[in-house]
Amino acid sequence: MDNYEKLGQMLLAIALFVALMGVILLVTGRARRRADLWQSLAFVAPALLLLIVGLVYPAIRTGYQSFFDRTSENFVGLDNYDFVFTNEAMITVLRNTAIWVFLTPLLSTFIGLVYAVLVDRSRVEAAAKAVIFLPMAISLVGASIIWKFVYEYRPDQQGIEQIGLLNQVLVWLGAEPRQFLIGEPWNTLFLIVIMVWVQAGFAMTVLAAAIKAIPADITEAAQLDGLTGVRMFRYITVPSIRPALVVVLTTIAIGTLKVFDIVRTMTGGQFGTSVISYEFYTQGFRTLNTGIASSLAVVLFVLVVPIVVYNVRQMRKAEYR
């Protein structure tokens, strides 16, 4: 029975699609006068349809479900949001997310920018850029596994050798090996290092290209005026590449809000390292609590929106200039 129903639904969907396309083609064929409008609509419609089905509808549904209980049956008002913002474990999650979003873009962009300036027009530029860009080619799970080995801990005992890079360095320096992934809140910083390691390459590439695009007459004029070194960087380079900087910062910030792979691979959200996007998964797929999972997704969405808006506005400004 169920299978018939699904078969029917599939046929219905195909029929609907064919009918819709037929209507569009018919209308575009007839309405010559507004050909422009209809034609562009015909091109946009499929994409729009997919967006509505695949993005807008689920988003609205998620928002709706966030006001309902775990099975989306009973209306619970703001209870889910109350839980997200008052439960102790959830506050740790929100705090970690804040640390991630604040530190990762700043550190990655800073490192990428300084690196781009330092290697710009140097003899080893290509090789140096390749080195920092390589981590970009690794998936976040792969990067996490690499760093898991870097942080790996073995006790300081007779007959036991360190297999973690960092702890081996500590032992060489005469210090005790330590458990990098346990102590709160430092462990979150050790996880952020991974994201920075991956994203700095992206920042460097975009910013290096922007630096190359600064018109030579500007830098020459500045040099004639006596600007060198750090002041050159501060007053000429940075203002000139401001649009690129904003794009890099916001892109990394959005990516960071969605960080899931690193947390799951490194700690499984234990030791107080969970973030919203991981907690969303835990609530949605482990405790099967659709209500709280949806409200976490909404919180995540609300946090991303201002960054996207800012990004778009800056881009527009740059275009008008």
Partner 1 sequence: MAMSSARKGWAAVGLAASVSLVLAACGGDDGDDDTAGGGDTGGGDADCAFAEDYGDLEGTQVSVYSTIVAPEDAPLEASFDTFEECTGMTVVYEGSDEFEAQLPVRIQGGSPPDLAIIPQPGLLATLVRDYDAVIPVPDDARANVEASFDAAWIDYGTVDGTYYGTPFGANVKSFVWYSPSAFEEAGYEIPETWDDLIALSDQIVADGGMPWCAGFGSGDATGWPGTDWVEEVMLRTAGIDVYRQWYEHEIPFNDPQVVEAFDTVGEILKNDQYVNGGLGDVSSIATTRFEDGGLPILQGQCWMHRQASFYQANWGDGVEVAEDGDVYAFYLPGIDPAQGNPVLGGGEFTAAFTERPEVQAFQTYLSSDHWHAERASKGNFVSANKTVPVDAYDSPVNQLSAEIIQDPEAAFGFDASDLMPAEVGTVAFWTGMVNWITGASTQETVDAIENAWP
Q: How many residues bind partner 1 (CB under 8 A)?
A: 31
Q: Report how far residue 18's alpha carbon sits from residue 269's, in angstroms, rounded to the nearest whole number.
A: 47
Single-letter residue type at 16:
L
Nearest alpha-carbon partner for 83 in 291, 227, 320: 291
By the rule CB under 8 A, 70 interacts with partner 1: yes
Name the burial class of residue 57, with classes exposed (0-12), middle (13-18) and buried (19+) by CB atoms within 10 angstroms of its CB.
exposed
Q: How far is CA 277 from the centre of its chain?
A: 10
By the rule CB under 8 A, 289 interacts with partner 1: yes
Looking up tokens 């797929």 gives 285
Single-letter residue type at 24:
I
Among 105, 112, 135, 269, indicate the residue that binds partner 1 (CB under 8 A).
269
Among 33, 157, 229, 320, indicate the residue that binds partner 1 (CB under 8 A).
157
Q: How far is CA 256 from the centre of its chain?
A: 4
Restricted to residues 207-266, the positions that interact with partner 1 (CB under 8 A) are 264
Nearest alpha-carbon partner for 63 in 307, 290, 310: 290
By the rule CB under 8 A, 271 interacts with partner 1: yes
CB 81 within 8 A of CB 66: yes
By the rule CB under 8 A, 95 interacts with partner 1: no
- Nearest distance in Å: CB 175, partner 1: 15
Among 121, 123, 159, 173, indicate the residue that binds partner 1 (CB under 8 A).
159
Name the burial class of residue 5, with classes exposed (0-12), middle (13-18) and buried (19+) by CB atoms within 10 angstroms of its CB.
exposed
x/- map, 174-213, partner 1, by CB under 8 A: -----x-xx-------------------------------
Task: Choose the binding region for partner 1 from 22-30, 114-122, 147-155, 310-318 (rule: CB under 8 A).
Answer: 147-155
By the rule CB under 8 A, 75 interacts with partner 1: no
Restricted to residues 6-45, the positions that interact with partner 1 (CB under 8 A) are 6-7, 10
Q: How many CB atoms lie within 10 A of CB 28?
A: 18
- Nearest distance in Å: CB 45, partner 1: 23
Name the burial class of residue 290, with classes exposed (0-12), middle (13-18) and buried (19+) by CB atoms within 10 angstroms of its CB.
buried
By the rule CB under 8 A, 86 interacts with partner 1: no
Task: Choose the binding region for partner 1 from 53-61, 149-157, 239-247, 311-319 (rule: CB under 8 A).
Answer: 149-157
Q: Which residues bind partner 1 (CB under 8 A)?
A: 2-4, 6-7, 10, 70-71, 88-89, 153-155, 157, 159-160, 179, 181-182, 264, 267-271, 282, 285-289
